[in-house]
Amino acid sequence: MNQPAVNGGFAPQTLFLGLAASSLASSFLKTEELSARSFLLWGLPAALGLCLLSALLAAEFQARELFSGKGVFSRLGCGVSGLWFAVELIRTVRTAQEVCWSQFSSMAALSVLPLLLWAGWALPEAVFDRSSRVLWWLAGLGALLCAAGLAGQLHWQNLFPASYRFTGADLGQILYPEYFALTFLCPQRQWRKAVWMPLGSFGVQAAFCFGMALLFGARQGSGLPGYELLRSWTLGAFSRFDAVFLLLWLAAMFFRICVLAHILRLLWEKFRGRSVCEVSP
């Protein structure tokens, strides 16, 4: 349990699990008008651009040893990144709590927050990597069941009556701090795989957006809360699968809170001038 990470840092799939959950949240909490077609046309280049930017910055940061914790420049970099991750942590907690309250009338997210922060602070990276594999399997199963429950209700004809007009939401890309700290977060050369994370986040949002358009129609789907897509799920006697799916999503968000807390700890230690090896308990 308390073994230190061999190489330090997270596996790309561990980081992406949290990002996928966060991207999904931005999809089903979204209510503004959005055309699936323009989302694809504008969102894909934006996501690819982010991948490129992320790769270039990672290479540059590695060359300049931005996250080494040595020197004023490095400490400043760690401090700024830490602030951004702290803001992201607050945003993640707020989103999880919002869904908990609106869907389950529960304060569970706030209730377990200290426990999550403690776990995130104390556990080594290897534990997160192992847990993420289980969560990924569950997420895959959930997505499969969702697709099965919506199968008869999705119609390609619904995509057509869309009026094409650009809105700012079409770019649809949220800037996550993980994109710009890859060399710090991922072990050795694994950050090269992680540069595709913006594309993965876009894929999650695009799948949701197309699901909405295929079900509700390009015109009607705009402006409806994204929850409605989950609520339409039906399979025999189980009429409200959305609760199970949201619980699974919540687990992924809690996981993200732990990961962010751990990243904050690593950055704090770097800021104080200690190495990663000293950090791992």
Residues contributing to the site for another protein (CB under 8 A): 102-103, 105-108, 110-112, 114-115, 118, 153, 155-162, 164, 215-217, 219-220, 224-225, 227-228, 231-232, 234, 237-240, 243
Is residue 36 within 8 Å of residue 212, measured between CB atoms?
yes
Distance between terminal CA atoms of the chain?
10
Least distance to another protein, CB of residue 213, Å: 12
Between 130 and 155, whose beta carbon lies closer to another protein? 155
3-state secondary structure of 106: coil
Identity of the residue, 72 or 164, whose beta carbon is nearer to another protein in the bound complex: 164
Provide the minimum distance between the beta carbon of 172 and another protein in the complex, in angstroms, as a whole number: 22
- Residue 80 or 110: which CB sits closer to another protein? 110
**Contact by Cβ (8 Å): 119, 128:** no
* Least distance from another protein to the Cβ atom of residue 111, Å: 4
Query: What is the spatial distance between Cα 126 and Cα 133, in angstroms, rounded to a whole number?
Result: 11
CA angle 101, 106, 108 (to 5 degrees): 110
Structure tokens at 229: 């897509």
- In whole angstroms, what is the distance from residue 18 CA to residue 112 CA? 17
Min. distance of Cβ 46 from another protein in angstroms? 24
Taking the least distance from each CB to another protein, the nearer of 36 and 50 is 36
